[in-house]
Every structure is written in C-alpha cells, then in structure tokens.
Amino acid sequence: LGCREQGKQGEALRWLEPMTGTSGNGRERSRSPPPVGGLKVKEIPVIGDSRVLIAPGILEEIPKRLQAAGFKPSALVMVSDKTVDGHYGDRLFKAFERHLAETGSTQRLLRFAFPAGEASKNRQTKENVEDFMLSNKCARDSAIVALGGGVVGDLSGYTAATYMRGIPVFQVPTSTMAMIDSSVGGKTAINVPAGKNLIGAFHQPSIIFADPTVLSTLSRREVVEGLAEAIKMGVIRDAALFKQLAANAESIMTLDNALLQDVLYKAVAHKAEIVKLDEKETGLRATLNYGHTIGHAIEAMVSPKMLHGECVAIGCVAEAELACRMGHLKPEAIPEIRACFEAYGLPVLPPPGLTLEKLMDKMAVDKKNQGKTIRCTIITGVGTSIDHPLPVPRETMEAVVSDMLKTTAVPKHGW
C-alpha cells in the first residue's frame, strides 16, 4: 500500500529578479524601492505590483519602505491578534510614529487587536474590524497592515478586499505558516460553520514583509507547523528542496538563519511563480492544495486541538496513497514522504474519533470540487505533480480514508 520512488527532479528553481512596474492607480513606482538602511533584502515578485521582501530586521524599516514605494494612505490601520500585538505591536507602531515625526506626515495611525486563534477567523471579527475603521472615518485611501499569522492575514486581507470596495493591504507575517504560504498570493477568507475558508476573495497584498527574526517567539510546534507547507512544496514541485528539508530537519527547526532563509525563499519563489501563472486557482494553483482535501476535512473536525500544518501533514501522506492507488505514483515514494514529515515531529496518522462519513461530508464542500465530484492534487513522484487537480472516484477516496482511519495516534501534544 504505498508509493516510493525517488521522484524526478523538478525544474531547477528559477530565481526571480526585481522588475519595474506601475501601480494600479497610475502612480509610477519601482517594484524595487530605493535601498533603505543597510539590510540585504531578497525580493520576490508575485503578480502585478505585489512582491515579497525577505530580510532579518526588516520589521522596523517597514514605514520607510512603504514611503519609498510610493504608498501614502491617509490612515493606516494595524490589525493583529492580541498575542502577536503583545510581542511586536509596539515595535511596529512606534516605528511608524517615529517615521511620521521625522517626515512631518499627517497620516493617521490606528491599531486593532482581536483574540488570538482560529476561532476568531469569522464574520463577527471581520465586522468588528470594519466597524472600528468606519467609526474612525477611514476612507477609501486608507490601508491595512496585517501583523500576525495566517488568521490575521486571511481576515485582514478579506477586510481590505471589501472595505470601501477594496483598499491596499500590507502583510507582515509572524509565523512560518504565514511566511511560507498564507501571506503570499492574495487568497483571503474567513471560516463558517460549513467549513474552512469558504467565504473570501482574491486580493493581492501590495507588499509582504517577511522578517525571520520574529519567528523566535514561536514554540517549536508552531515553527514546525508552517514547515509542513515547505515540505508540501518540495513534494509537488522541487525534489532538491524536499531533500534539503529531509537532510536538515533539526537545524531548520531550531531556526538556523541561513538554512531557514534559503528554505523560505525557495518555497515562496515557487508559490509566487504559480500565482503569476494562475492567480484565480483555475488549474495549476490548485496543485498547492496537495494534502489539503483530506487535511482540511480533518482540521474542520479537530481544530483547535490540531493545527493546520499538522492536519495537512496527515493529508499529504494519505493523498500520496491516493495517487498510488490511482496509478500515478510508485509505492516506494510514500515512506520517503512520510519520513520527512516525521523528521519534523509532524503527525502522519489521524487522531482518534474521526469517522468516514463526517470526513467525506466535509470533503463534499472542498473548493477544488466540480459539482459533486471531489478533485485532488495528484503527485507523480517526489518533486513532481500533475499540473491540475484530477477527479477522484468516490469509492477510491472512501477506501483510502477508511484505511487511514484503521490506525490512529494521539498527537504528541495531547488530545
């Protein structure tokens, strides 16, 4: 029951160079703003004017870099959760205050923090942010700075997409999950009772500022959770990245600066390239959801006991089995994929208490589906995958999930 193959080497990573462009409102500005400070910044263009800037210590430089890039909103609203706000809110807010004092700007600075956790990613929290902005007379020339992990980024991005029919958002990810995956590409959403991320919009962030030093306040579990998305990227697109992750697990988990930045850059560059080719997820971009069909179904039933990346790890192993049964993956690949996730302490077996019926019911509303047909990303080796989701016979999916549920494990952090 498995598929093991070394996997074909994917195309060598195309290192993306800065480009020039014009902003959507006609302001001419460089994609690469004039150098600010002495930081060595890596830039990854995404789509349109959207780009990622990666550098340790870039957090305090955000105000100057926004000005250098031509952004001058009348009001800047920093949205965060209370945990992240406690760690980094003052640092970023005071950096903006200093910059305004130095430049004599009349820009208004506002700050909003909501309770941390996936439970806040809902309609009510979005409404609270909107009401806060409306009560402070934020006009259409305002902007949002999303300081936080995936929940903050998704909710703030969706708020920006709909407030006054759309205002700019700048992402400042503070988790490995957000830096590697959720802050890049413009997918924004909230959760609803029917499932995760079902109500949302595509709204590209103008700039993503990734400062790896902020990851130091995360627990090991939180660091590892986001690395599941890097492993996923290696499996679907980059065998060399996968091997790098497999060979250096301990160093990467302990935030080895050079290794972590290299992994971060490669994973984000791959995602940016895919987003440029398929912004609205009509085909190729849906391959980024490898492991998410089964993973999201599990997450919908066990959150917040298990984190998103933990559920995706389980889903990736199960969906490798699915690819094997559908004839696209050799059995030898599955143990190799499983071992990499295990090297990071990520779960590869589902927790107890799940049922086939409930998991299939959650999968029925997956965003990749067409009508009642479940579609999945299918891998063909370690580093390669089919460039669009394939329809999966219901009986095949049920067989894979049923076998998955035969062996369960209590997560290491408890249950």
- CB-based contact 76:110 (threshold 8 Å): yes
Query: 296 catalytic, yes or no?
Result: yes
Decide: helix, strand or coil at residue 24: coil
Query: 368 catalytic, yes or no?
Result: no
Q: In the structure, how many helices (H) and strands (E) does the chain have?
A: 15, 15
Question: Which member of 51, 266, 308, 368 is catalytic?
Answer: 308
Bond prior to 168 in cis (omega within 30° of 0): no
Query: 308 catalytic, yes or no?
Result: yes
Radius of gyration of the chain (CA): 21
How is residue 243 written in tokens? 């091997």
Residues 6 or more apart from 343 whose CB is under 8 A from it? 246, 249
Query: 285 catalytic, yes or no?
Result: yes
Question: Which member of 99, 191, 289, 310 is catalytic?
Answer: 289
Question: Which member of 4, 196, 266, 296 is catalytic?
Answer: 296
- CB-based contact 144:168 (threshold 8 Å): yes
Question: Which member of 42, 237, 292, 367 is catalytic?
Answer: 292
Query: 271 catalytic, yes or no?
Result: yes
What is the spatial distance between Cα 204 and Cα 353, in angstroms, rounded to a whole number? 38
- CB-based contact 376:394 (threshold 8 Å): no
- Report helix angle 356-363 to 394-405, nearest 10: 130
Question: Which member of 225, 281, 299, 319 is catalytic?
Answer: 281
Exposure class string for 74-93: b at 16+ Cβ within 10 A, else e: ebbbbbbbebbbebbbeebb
Question: Which member of 285, 338, 367, 375 is catalytic?
Answer: 285
User: Which amino acid does the sequence have at 24?
Assistant: G
Question: Which member of 271, 325, 362, 367 is catalytic?
Answer: 271
Query: 196 catalytic, yes or no?
Result: no
Question: Please, what sign has the CA dihedral across residues 126, 130, 136, 139?
Answer: positive
Query: 369 catalytic, yes or no?
Result: no
Question: Which member of 40, 165, 372, 406 is catalytic?
Answer: 165
Strand 169-173 and strand 207-210: the pairing is: parallel
Burial of residue 224, with CB atoms counted within 10 A of its CB: 0-12 exposed, 13-18 middle, 19 or more buried: buried
The β-bridge partners of 207 are 51, 170
Question: Which member of 229, 273, 319, 321 is catalytic?
Answer: 229
Query: 14 catalytic, yes or no?
Result: no
Exposure class string for 299-325: b at 16+ Cβ within 10 A, else e: bbbbbeebbbbbbbbbbbbbbbbbbbb
Active site residues: 165, 187, 229, 271, 281, 285, 289, 292, 296, 308
